[in-house]
Protein backbone atom coordinates (compact mmCIF):
# COMPACT_ATOMS: atom_id res chain seq x y z
CA UNK A 1 0.00 0.00 0.00
CA UNK A 2 1.29 3.42 -0.88
CA UNK A 3 0.75 5.86 1.94
CA UNK A 4 0.26 8.66 -0.56
CA UNK A 5 -2.48 7.03 -2.65
CA UNK A 6 -5.49 9.33 -2.83
CA UNK A 7 -9.04 8.01 -3.07
CA UNK A 8 -10.33 11.20 -4.66
CA UNK A 9 -9.02 13.98 -6.90
CA UNK A 10 -9.28 17.72 -6.35
CA UNK A 11 -11.63 17.98 -9.32
CA UNK A 12 -13.90 15.31 -7.85
CA UNK A 13 -14.02 17.22 -4.55
CA UNK A 14 -15.04 20.36 -6.42
CA UNK A 15 -17.63 18.51 -8.50
CA UNK A 16 -19.18 16.75 -5.50
CA UNK A 17 -19.07 19.35 -2.75
CA UNK A 18 -18.39 22.84 -4.08
CA UNK A 19 -20.75 24.58 -6.50
CA UNK A 20 -19.34 27.23 -8.86
CA UNK A 21 -15.86 27.05 -7.42
CA UNK A 22 -12.90 29.03 -8.65
CA UNK A 23 -11.04 27.91 -5.55
CA UNK A 24 -7.31 27.37 -5.88
CA UNK A 25 -6.73 23.62 -5.95
CA UNK A 26 -3.87 23.92 -3.44
CA UNK A 27 -6.41 24.66 -0.70
CA UNK A 28 -8.10 21.32 -1.35
CA UNK A 29 -5.15 19.14 -2.33
CA UNK A 30 -3.36 19.44 1.00
CA UNK A 31 -6.36 18.00 2.88
CA UNK A 32 -7.11 14.92 0.77
CA UNK A 33 -4.76 12.46 2.46
CA UNK A 34 -5.37 13.91 5.91
CA UNK A 35 -9.15 13.63 5.56
CA UNK A 36 -9.17 10.11 4.14
CA UNK A 37 -6.84 8.92 6.91
CA UNK A 38 -8.70 10.68 9.71
CA UNK A 39 -12.32 10.17 8.65
CA UNK A 40 -12.31 7.11 6.37
CA UNK A 41 -9.56 4.70 7.46
CA UNK A 42 -10.83 3.96 10.97
CA UNK A 43 -14.42 3.76 9.75
CA UNK A 44 -13.66 1.22 7.02
CA UNK A 45 -11.14 -0.70 9.08
CA UNK A 46 -7.46 -0.73 8.28
CA UNK A 47 -7.51 -3.94 6.22
CA UNK A 48 -10.33 -2.78 3.94
CA UNK A 49 -8.80 0.70 3.67
CA UNK A 50 -5.45 -0.79 2.60
CA UNK A 51 -7.18 -3.11 0.11
CA UNK A 52 -8.89 -0.12 -1.51
CA UNK A 53 -5.66 1.88 -1.71
CA UNK A 54 -3.79 -1.07 -3.23
CA UNK A 55 -6.50 -1.55 -5.84
CA UNK A 56 -6.64 2.18 -6.63
CA UNK A 57 -2.87 2.40 -6.95
CA UNK A 58 -2.64 -0.68 -9.18
CA UNK A 59 -5.81 0.09 -11.18
CA UNK A 60 -7.30 -3.26 -10.16
CA UNK A 61 -10.52 -2.17 -8.44
CA UNK A 62 -13.08 -4.94 -8.13
CA UNK A 63 -16.67 -4.20 -9.10
CA UNK A 64 -17.70 -4.17 -5.42
CA UNK A 65 -14.93 -1.75 -4.50
CA UNK A 66 -15.64 0.47 -7.50
CA UNK A 67 -19.24 0.72 -6.33
CA UNK A 68 -18.40 1.50 -2.70
CA UNK A 69 -15.83 4.09 -3.76
CA UNK A 70 -18.68 6.25 -5.09
CA UNK A 71 -20.14 6.39 -1.57
CA UNK A 72 -16.73 6.97 0.01
CA UNK A 73 -15.98 9.87 -2.33
CA UNK A 74 -19.25 11.60 -1.42
CA UNK A 75 -18.36 11.52 2.28
CA UNK A 76 -14.69 12.29 1.72
CA UNK A 77 -15.35 15.33 -0.47
CA UNK A 78 -17.39 16.96 2.29
CA UNK A 79 -14.81 16.15 4.96
CA UNK A 80 -12.09 17.68 2.78
CA UNK A 81 -14.03 20.92 2.35
CA UNK A 82 -14.74 20.97 6.10
CA UNK A 83 -11.03 20.66 6.85
CA UNK A 84 -9.91 23.15 4.19
CA UNK A 85 -12.31 25.99 5.06
CA UNK A 86 -10.14 27.55 7.79
CA UNK A 87 -7.21 27.76 5.37
CA UNK A 88 -9.44 29.15 2.63
CA UNK A 89 -10.76 31.82 4.99
CA UNK A 90 -7.49 32.74 6.65
CA UNK A 91 -3.94 33.23 5.53
CA UNK A 92 -0.89 32.86 7.74
CA UNK A 93 1.81 35.36 6.87
CA UNK A 94 4.81 36.99 8.49
CA UNK A 95 2.57 39.55 10.16
CA UNK A 96 0.12 37.03 11.61
CA UNK A 97 -3.20 35.54 10.54
CA UNK A 98 -5.24 37.49 7.98
CA UNK A 99 -8.59 37.01 6.27
CA UNK A 100 -8.31 35.89 2.64
CA UNK A 101 -10.53 38.50 1.02
CA UNK A 102 -10.48 40.18 -2.34
CA UNK A 103 -11.68 43.67 -3.17
CA UNK A 104 -15.15 42.59 -4.33
CA UNK A 105 -16.03 40.05 -1.67
CA UNK A 106 -17.93 40.52 1.53
CA UNK A 107 -16.81 38.27 4.37
CA UNK A 108 -19.27 35.88 5.99
CA UNK A 109 -20.02 36.51 9.63
CA UNK A 110 -18.37 34.20 12.12
CA UNK A 111 -21.75 32.57 12.73
CA UNK A 112 -22.40 32.04 9.02
CA UNK A 113 -18.89 30.67 8.52
CA UNK A 114 -19.30 28.30 11.46
CA UNK A 115 -22.68 27.13 10.17
CA UNK A 116 -21.26 26.51 6.70
CA UNK A 117 -18.36 24.53 8.09
CA UNK A 118 -20.64 22.50 10.37
CA UNK A 119 -22.92 21.79 7.40
CA UNK A 120 -20.03 20.20 5.50
CA UNK A 121 -19.13 18.05 8.51
CA UNK A 122 -22.72 16.86 8.93
CA UNK A 123 -23.03 16.05 5.23
CA UNK A 124 -19.83 14.03 5.45
CA UNK A 125 -21.27 12.11 8.41
CA UNK A 126 -24.52 11.43 6.57
CA UNK A 127 -22.73 10.22 3.47
CA UNK A 128 -20.56 8.01 5.67
CA UNK A 129 -23.72 6.44 7.09
CA UNK A 130 -24.76 5.68 3.51
CA UNK A 131 -21.62 3.57 3.15
CA UNK A 132 -22.84 1.35 5.98
CA UNK A 133 -26.38 1.16 4.58
CA UNK A 134 -25.05 0.23 1.15
CA UNK A 135 -22.75 -2.51 2.46
CA UNK A 136 -25.45 -3.94 4.74
CA UNK A 137 -27.88 -3.96 1.82
CA UNK A 138 -25.40 -5.79 -0.42
CA UNK A 139 -24.59 -8.28 2.35
CA UNK A 140 -28.28 -9.25 2.62
CA UNK A 141 -28.10 -10.82 -0.83
CA UNK A 142 -24.38 -11.61 -0.92
CA UNK A 143 -23.11 -12.21 2.64
CA UNK A 144 -19.52 -12.65 1.47
CA UNK A 145 -19.29 -9.14 0.02
CA UNK A 146 -16.87 -6.71 1.66
CA UNK A 147 -15.27 -9.25 4.01
CA UNK A 148 -12.63 -6.79 5.22
CA UNK A 149 -15.10 -4.03 6.13
CA UNK A 150 -15.39 -3.65 9.88
CA UNK A 151 -17.63 -0.59 9.95
CA UNK A 152 -19.02 1.24 12.90
CA UNK A 153 -20.25 -1.93 14.61
CA UNK A 154 -16.70 -2.95 15.45
CA UNK A 155 -15.75 -1.58 18.85
CA UNK A 156 -12.05 -1.20 19.53
CA UNK A 157 -12.53 -0.19 23.14
CA UNK A 158 -14.73 1.75 25.46
CA UNK A 159 -16.39 1.87 28.84
CA UNK A 160 -19.49 -0.08 29.81
CA UNK A 161 -21.73 1.56 32.42
CA UNK A 162 -24.12 -0.45 34.60
Question: pLDDT tens digits, the chain, 162 residues: what are they?
Answer: 577 999 999 999 999 998 767 777 888 899 999 999 999 999 999 999 999 999 999 999 999 999 999 999 999 999 999 998 877 766 555 565 556 666 555 666 666 777 788 888 999 999 999 999 999 999 999 999 999 998 764 445 556 665
Asked if residue 4 is part of any domain, the answer here is: no
Asked if residue 151 is part of any domain, the answer here is: no
Question: First CA to last CA across the chain, in angstroms?
Answer: 42
User: Which domain, by its residues, includes 71?
Assistant: 10-141
Asked if residue 62 is part of any domain, the answer here is: yes
pTM: 0.81
Amino acid sequence: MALDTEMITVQEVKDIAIVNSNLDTAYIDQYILYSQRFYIRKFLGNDFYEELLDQIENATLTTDNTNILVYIKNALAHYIVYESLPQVRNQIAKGGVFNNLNATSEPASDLSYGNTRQDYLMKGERFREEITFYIEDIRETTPTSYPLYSGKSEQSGGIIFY
